[in-house]
Amino acid sequence: MQIISRNQQAPIIVFVNLIADVDSLHEHLTRAGKRVTLIHGKKSQEQREKGLNALRDGHADILVCTNVVARGIDIENVAHVINYNAPANITEYIHRIGRTGRAGKQGLATTIINMQTDEALLYDLKKHLIDNDQPIPLELSHYIAPPERPQASVSADGSKMITRGLS
């Protein structure tokens, strides 16, 4: 993973969407000589605490994890949050990147996007960056309107119907 350079300040948190990808990326980074720990939903509470403590105590520089770490866990001085897989929505994005730049400190957030990244997230991400006076990457500059999202309605018999406008 070239995003993580040799001289980059730790700690770094790398978010992925699938448990199998946490294990795979952890193994890849370990083989590359990185000091890395991992946390995901199939780990016991004791294993999760061990992983967090390794990062907090400086025994690991990188934490690879799922969204289980995105909320309610405080790790001081996180230098970089990497969304290796883009989150499902802007709320998840905000919670993930909220692990860095805390208490008035500088932090860096990187999100890897690809052809599978949901267009609604990309539009919402661009809007979030604009609203927070952040630079807009070239890759997001062409998202000028939100993609049309399906609208749900409930009919008289109580069944739900999802509609989408056609042009």
What is the per-residue pLDDT for 102? 67
For the cut 50, the answer to whether the pLDDT of residue 164 exceeds it is no
pTM above 0.85, yes or no: no
Domain extent for 101: 12-163
Domain assignment present for residue 3? The answer is no
Q: In this structure, is residue 155 part of a structural domain?
A: yes
Asked if residue 54 is part of any domain, the answer here is: yes
- Per-residue DSSP letters for 3-30? TS-TTPPSPEEEE-SSHHHHHHHHHHHH
Per-residue pLDDT of 142-152, as tens digits, reads: 877 666 655 55
Q: At what angle do helices 119-131 and 90-97 cross, to 10 degrees?
A: 50
In the chain, how many domains are there? 1
CATH code, domain carrying 105: 3.40.50.300
Residue 152: strand, helix, or coil = strand
On whether residue 2 sits in a domain, the answer given is no
Residue 124 lies in a domain: yes
DSSP string for residues in 32-88: TT--EEEE-TTS-HHHHHHHHHHHHTTS-SEEEE-GGGTSS---TT--EEEESS--S
